[in-house]
Amino acid sequence: MKTINDSKIDFDSYFAEHQIDAAKVRPAGDWVEEVIDSFYGQTSAANWAPIGFDKMRGKFDLRAGEVTLWTGVNGHGKTSFLSDVMIRVMSAGQKVCLASLEMKPSVSMKKMTMQAAGIGEPSIGFIRGFHGWTNGKLWIYDHVGKLAASRALAVATYVRNELKIDHLVIDSLMKCGMGTDDYTAQKDFVDSLCSIARDTGLHIHLVCHMRKGENESKPAEKFDVKGASEIVDLCDNLMIIWKNLPKAKDLADAEREPNAIQRRHLIGQINQKPDAFVRLAKQRNHPWEGSFAFWFDKESQQFLEHSNTRTMAAMTFEQTAEETFGQ
């Protein structure tokens, strides 16, 4: 390892001449405690927050101080998947703030309530109990429509510094006051989000749309992310949500089978195939990349890990619903 011996250099005159900040050049050993902490301390892998799905544990966990980009073709479920994740994150004791700029707070909470209940029409008691359970866990930035980029950055700083929020969801980039072709503004905004995350420990989840391709039946790639190419370069993680449209077509065809026995057989076979794939296309601070298969329960809007997996409320809350959610 080569070092810079600053005792033999007149840095004051050198930096004055070249307009360089001398304080930024430091011995590498200054970071020894941070490196030790990354192995054994509060920022080590043992303290990463699980995303809440068993099949993703150890492959993609939520690390403090990062920005995760969530993207996918419109209607493929990226907002629903992220909502499901945030319930699991809160259940693990983390605090969340939702800035859904495309959806009224009541609509966001309706979806989240169904996901928490595991059914499409939860009881009034459950609804009240669930909303009470979110107190101290979930905050919502009450704004729908365009939001100035500077205000979005201020919100991120505020919720971390004042409310000690662990996760901020911004849905979506296109609502943060920048033109669709203003790539410089988009790059600067995401760069600023990354700086806030890195400096404060906040994990920021940014939803971004995909460019419209010729065929939605083909999984999207990271190069299909709509906007400046630097958006993907700057973020720490990239998650791509893709709905298995070929399966939907196969089911529609099977429903038209006139023979009832054959129809049930076909539908049973097709339902073994995943409804969606969540692809981890980039992960800066972990070597694993790849796809996770999920099944989707339309009634509850939950994403399930296996074809025979029960909805989350049935598995997790049925014994403690009264004390947890007041049902």
Token pair 């509850």: residue: 300
In order along its 327 residues, the chain shows pLDDT tens digits of 444 555 555 655 545 555 556 667 788 888 888 888 878 776 667 777 889 999 999 999 999 999 999 998 888 889 999 999 999 999 999 999 999 999 999 999 999 999 999 999 999 999 999 999 999 999 999 999 999 999 999 999 999 999 999 999 999 899 999 988 899 999 999 999 999 999 999 999 999 988 776 666 677 777 888 888 899 999 999 999 999 888 888 888 888 888 888 888 888 888 899 999 999 999 999 999 999 999 999 999 999 999 888 886 654 444 444 555 554
pLDDT of amino acid 8: 57
Q: What is the full DSSP assignment across 48-92?
A: SEE-S-GGGTTTSEE-TT-EEEEEESTTSSHHHHHHHHHHHHHHT
Backbone angles phi, psi at 6, to 5 degrees: -80, -5
| Nearest residue to 275 via CA among 300, 299, 245, 255 | 245
pLDDT of amino acid 3: 46
CATH superfamily of 58-325: P-loop containing nucleotide triphosphate hydrolases (3.40.50.300)
pTM, full prediction: 0.84
| Nearest residue to 211 via CA among 185, 234, 232 | 232
Question: Where do the domains of the chain lie?
Answer: 12-47, 58-325
pLDDT of amino acid 6: 53
pLDDT of amino acid 37: 80
pLDDT of amino acid 19: 58
pLDDT of amino acid 259: 87
Question: What's the CA gap between 27 and 242, in Å, rounded?
Answer: 46
pLDDT of amino acid 252: 86
- Pairing relationship of beta strands 138-140 and 203-209 according to DSSP bridges: unpaired
